[in-house]
Amino acid sequence: MNLSSRLPVLCLVLFGLSGAAQLARAEAPFQPVPHQAGKDVIWLPTSQSLVDEMLTMAKVTSKDLVYDLGSGDGIIAVTAGKKFGARAIGIEFNPKMAEFATQRAKKEGVADKVSFINGDIFAEDFSQATVVTMYLLPTLNLRLRPTLLDMKPGTRIVSHAFSMQEWEPDQTSTAGSGSAYLWIVPAKVAGVWDIKGLEGAAPGKLTLHQSFQQIGGTMTVAGVSQPLLGAQLSADKLSFSFFGPDKVMQSITATVAAGNLSGMHTAYGTTKAVEAKRL
Ligand SMILES: C[S@@+](CC[C@H](N)C(=O)[O-])C[C@H]1O[C@@H](n2cnc3c(N)ncnc32)[C@H](O)[C@@H]1O
């Protein structure tokens, strides 16, 4: 066989080889690359030690539903399921990342409680979460802040790096070279409350001012207003002290739910139930 007669065979072999190479390239499993582009923020994974710390700060248990906003390779959601026994859902815009994380959950044996949604964190509903985790950007944290503040009081939010500006974290921690911040969604308590059950007094008027979890205000009993002392709010739990009209210190600890406040009032060595309604 001379060269001219071998040429078509050679072409076929070369064509076949390049086709096979293309096929191999097309079928190579997707592998995420640090700093790869994302819709609103690039992908960089949180280190395992910081993930563990974030979920520990949030006191995650098997009763929790954890949502990781921008879930990348799935490390946070998978850890929440595997080490903390929680149900977890990751929301990830990049479909290949969402699929990669889904396969990871299967490999790690937690696919029964850990799943991933291919979607946009600004469009998907994560209002059922009891814990929200994120590693985004300061601007994105601020865009999410109103939604997070509307979640059920007591929902824990943990962010790898980045603040929420005036909404100061309830706790800060570090692991490796990273920092994590924890916020507990506070109940909305601002307003004037008609309070009944104060020992030996006419109904009182409780005025509460609120900036995120910081609160202050006054208690008015028998026409005398006194500032609240040591006022604290954590999730739906409220506590404060005040001096009554007779200069005796009194204190209230209460739970807030849907415009009602109910708890205990301590004065003159006795503790009794107290109720209030927001006016
Ligand atoms: C910095 S990585 C964090 C990944 C993971 N949460 C972690 O801590 O390891 C941010 C992730 O958010 C994803 N992302 C960016 N914008 C998004 C959006 N609007 N909706 C959902 N995911 C988004 C990126 O693709 C990337 O995987």
203 and 240 together in one domain:
yes
pLDDT over threshold 60, residue 195: yes
Backbone CA torsion sign across 39, 44, 45, 50: negative
Q: What is the pTM of this model?
A: 0.90
Mean pLDDT score, 223-247:
95
State if residue 132 touches ligand 1 by the CB under 6 angstroms criterion. Answer: no
Domain that holds residue 159: 48-184
140 CA → ligand 1 middle, Å = 11
Structure tokens at 93: 């815009």
93 lines ligand 1 (CB under 6 A): yes
Q: Mean per-residue pLDDT for 24-29?
A: 68
Distance from the alpha carbon of residue 61 to the mean position of ligand 1, in angstroms: 24
Q: Are residues 69 and 178 in the same domain?
A: yes
Instruction: Read off the pLDDT of residues 86-120 as tens digits, 9 standing for 90 and up.
Output: 999 999 999 999 999 999 999 999 999 999 999 99
pLDDT digits (tens, 9 = 90+) for 140-158: 999 999 999 999 999 999 9
- For residue 10, pLDDT over 80 is answered with no
Atom of ligand 1 nearest to the CA of 134: 6
59: domain CATH number is 3.40.50.150
pLDDT tens figures, 175-194: 999 999 999 999 999 999 99
231 plus 139 within the same structural domain? no
- State the distance from the centre of ligand 1 to the C-alpha of 211, rounded, in angstroms: 29
Are 140 and 264 in a shared domain?
A: no
**Closest-lying ligand 1 atom to the alpha carbon of residue 68:** 6
* Local confidence band at 197 (pLDDT 50, 70, 90 cut-offs): confident
Same domain, 163 and 101: yes
Together in a domain, 195 and 180: no
Across all residues in the chain, what is the average pLDDT? 92
Evaluate: CB of 43 within 6 angstroms of ligand 1. yes
Separation of CA 62 and ligand 1 centre (Å): 24
Atom of ligand 1 nearest to the CA of 38: 25
Say yes or no: CB of residue 40 within 6 Å of ligand 1.
yes
Query: What share of the chain has pLDDT > 70, as a percent?
Result: 89
- Residue 28: per-residue pLDDT: 86
